[in-house]
Amino acid sequence: MTSSTMSHTPADVSIQPRNLSFDVEAALATDWHKGDPFSTAFYNALSIMFPVGEQQFIDSVKHYRDRITDPVLAADVRGFTAQESIHRREHQKYNEALCSSLGYSLDALEGPIRRRIDWAQKHMPPIVHLGATVAYEHWTAILADALLRRPEMMDGADPHLAALWRWHAIEESEHKAVAFDVYRAVGGTPNMRRRLMLAITLEFAWDTLRHMRAMLKDHKGSKVKLWLGGMKFLFGKGGALRGLGRPWLDFFRRDFHPWDHDNRAVVAKVAQSLSLKVAAAE
């Protein structure tokens, strides 16, 4: 590979952070996602992971900054870092407001993730950290793509939170190949990223479930009904995870690249409608 072909993000995709701020505090005290405690807990559970997880993504990519000779990929990395830094800021604000209004302990929720990252820092080489980021970025890319393609997933949700999730989905799509391109440029192999994808999928599901259980433990009414109804939200017709099996499996192809899933048109469309509704941060 020559130095000029390290970046495989399409030339018309700009990886620029939008410095936005979202007024989500009041809504987070409620079942903001369509009045449904289960689906609200699902999105809140994901949010809890982002400030810690995205810092780890940034660190794992920045570790290889000096090895990137392609100026286009170097600019992609700067855009990726800037976008993820603002995601962290907004989700930290989100998580603090959520935990203080509903009485969750942010430390208890984040603790196991922090300890796992600390353990991995001590025992795993940098290429494994980067490969794990590549796998997580594929997960965020396919979840984001579903959210952008199916506006009904956020229709009826609190408008400020709907805007936050759409904004995050747009930027996850724009930078979805950055960690991947760095991984490939520094010699990361398809086999390692495949193995890491299997491990990361279990870890991601486990963390999501753990957070949701903590958030729903004081739910009044039948827990069985709540979780059965929740399965419909996740896997039923139009469900949040419905249709993700195929794009998830594509990651296991030897020649896979994130932009094989070309969603530029839908990203541009949602980005345009979002810019009409959301104010910039001060």
CB of 136 to Fe ion, least distance (A): 8
CB of 225 to Fe ion, least distance (A): 33
CB of 228 to Fe ion, least distance (A): 31
**CA nearest neighbour of 47 among 19, 28, 26, 20:** 28
Side chain identity at residue 266, one-letter code: V
State the Cα–Cα distance between residues 141 and 143, nearest whole angstrom: 6
Using the minimum distance from each CB to Fe ion, give the nearer residue, 68 or 170.
Answer: 170
State the Cα–Cα distance between residues 244 and 149, nearest whole angstrom: 12
One DSSP character per residue, 102-166 reads HT--HHHHHHHHHHHHHHHHHHS-HHHHHHHHHHHHHHHHHHHHHHHH-GGGTTTS-HHHHHHHH
Please identify the residue of the shown chain whose CB is closest to the bound Fe ion.
87
CB of 153 to Fe ion, least distance (A): 18
Query: What backbone torsions phi and psi does residue 280 show, to the nearest 5 degrees?
Result: -70, 155
State the Cα–Cα distance between residues 120 and 57, nearest whole angstrom: 13
Is-contact 171 17, C-beta < 8 A?
yes
CB of 217 to Fe ion, least distance (A): 28
Is-contact 261 250, C-beta < 8 A?
yes
Using the minimum distance from each CB to Fe ion, give the nearer residue, 165 or 233.
Answer: 165
CB of 84 to Fe ion, least distance (A): 5
| Site residues (vs Fe ion, CB under 5 A) | 84, 87, 172
Using the minimum distance from each CB to Fe ion, give the nearer residue, 22 or 38.
Answer: 22
**CA nearest neighbour of 250 among 164, 167, 145:** 145
State the Cα–Cα distance between residues 225 and 247, nearest whole angstrom: 30
CB of 220 to Fe ion, least distance (A): 34
Using the minimum distance from each CB to Fe ion, give the nearer residue, 84 or 158.
Answer: 84
Using the minimum distance from each CB to Fe ion, give the nearer residue, 114 or 223.
Answer: 114
Using the minimum distance from each CB to Fe ion, give the nearer residue, 55 or 101.
Answer: 55
Using the minimum distance from each CB to Fe ion, give the nearer residue, 109 or 134.
Answer: 134
Helix then strand count (H, E) for the chain reads 11, 0
Residues 6+ apart with CB under 8 A from 171: 17, 18, 83, 87
Using the minimum distance from each CB to Fe ion, give the nearer residue, 163 or 216.
Answer: 163
CB of 133 to Fe ion, least distance (A): 8
